[in-house]
Amino acid sequence: MNKNDQEIHLELLNLQKSFAEVNVLNMLNMNIHKGEFIAIVGKSGCGKSTLLRLLSGLEKPSAGEIVMEGKPLAGLNRQACIMFQDGRLLPWKRVLHNVGLGLKGDHQEEAMEVLRHVGLENKSYEWPSRLSGGQKQRVALARALIHKPSLLLLDEPLGALDALTRLEMQSLIEEIWAHRRFTALLVTHDVEEAVALADRVIVLQDGKIAQEIKVSLPRPRGRDRAAFASIVNRILKQIIGAPKPVSGIWNEGPEYASHSVPRIGISSAE
């Protein structure tokens, strides 16, 4: 569905990161195409946030390298913007100036324009403390977008939001991504979110790619469809691991997953 499908944007070559002798990422190899939406899922501590920090240049790899558009990445990644779980807005700047942070010269008009995109033009002169959690993340998104990044890194940006706001934000992110065609990397706990948004879902386990699933469902993706549910279940099965046959109840994978993971219930409330 992407005309630049073949063009490689990012290459991870034998990427390795260890903290105090513990390998968080272990010999990771991956190609990411231009304009692709990748979701990375996995248990906490599987190294998925570390991967984003490496891609943003906030951390250096212990071994291996990241090649972006043919050039190895060194220092902060100027073409990437990262969105954190806690919006990280400056409480002492009004929304408009938070969005314009780091821009030189008069950026008011530009900032207003991006705020309009995320539906917050009427909050431009509020203090961040007056905003709801979802609105704060919209501002953080606008702040990232104003830099026109070719790579948007999303570090569980919707993790702290309530279920309904999260659905709203997911479609906003999808819409903006479809419009602007940047490469997106989303780290998330929420397997449904990953399947709803990503072209490819990567399951990380102990610093390695345990599974890679292409999702080719048409967008926007209806979560009530059987194909959607079956992909979600496949991924969950991988993350949680094959159930041990203690009693006869735990034998079937998909049923096990749908009974034990409450988030699946959200889609029926949609």
Please report whether residue 22 would count as binding another protein according to CB under 8 A.
Answer: no
Residues 232-251 that bind another protein (CB under 8 A): none
Give the integer Cα–Cα distance in Å for 60 and 270. Answer: 41
Our CB check for another protein shows the closer of 159 and 243 to be 159
Instruction: Please identify, among the stretches 35-43, 81-89, 169-177, 234-242, the one whose residues bind another protein according to the rule CB under 8 A.
Output: 81-89
200 strand-pairing partners: 38, 214
Structure tokens at 165: 């706001």
Find the angle CA(251)-CA(253)-CA(256) to the nearest 5 degrees.
Answer: 85
Give the integer Cα–Cα distance in Å for 57 and 59. Answer: 5
Q: Residue from 91, 218, 245, 248 that binds another protein (CB under 8 A)?
A: 91
Number of residues that bind another protein (CB under 8 A): 21
Please report whether residue 116 would count as binding another protein according to CB under 8 A.
Answer: no
Our CB check for another protein shows the closer of 127 and 250 to be 127
Q: Residue from 26, 50, 56, 267 that binds another protein (CB under 8 A)?
A: 56
Please report whether residue 148 would count as binding another protein according to CB under 8 A.
Answer: no
Q: Residue from 22, 44, 71, 102 that binds another protein (CB under 8 A)?
A: 102
| Residues in contact with 144: Cβ distance below 8 Å, sequence separation at least 6, in sequence order | 81, 82, 83, 152
**Phi, psi for residue 66 in degrees, rounded to 5:** -110, 125
Q: Residue from 127, 172, 181, 254 that binds another protein (CB under 8 A)?
A: 127
- Provide the edge-to-edge strand list for the sheet that holds 63-68: 22-33, 8-19, 63-68, 71-72
Cα torsion 22, 28, 34, 38 to 10°: value is -70
Q: How far is the CB of 76 from another protein (least distance, A)?
A: 7
Please report whether residue 93 would count as binding another protein according to CB under 8 A.
Answer: yes
What does the binding site for another protein look like in residue numbers (CB under 8 A)? 56, 58, 76, 78, 81-82, 84, 86, 88, 90-94, 101-102, 127-129, 143, 147
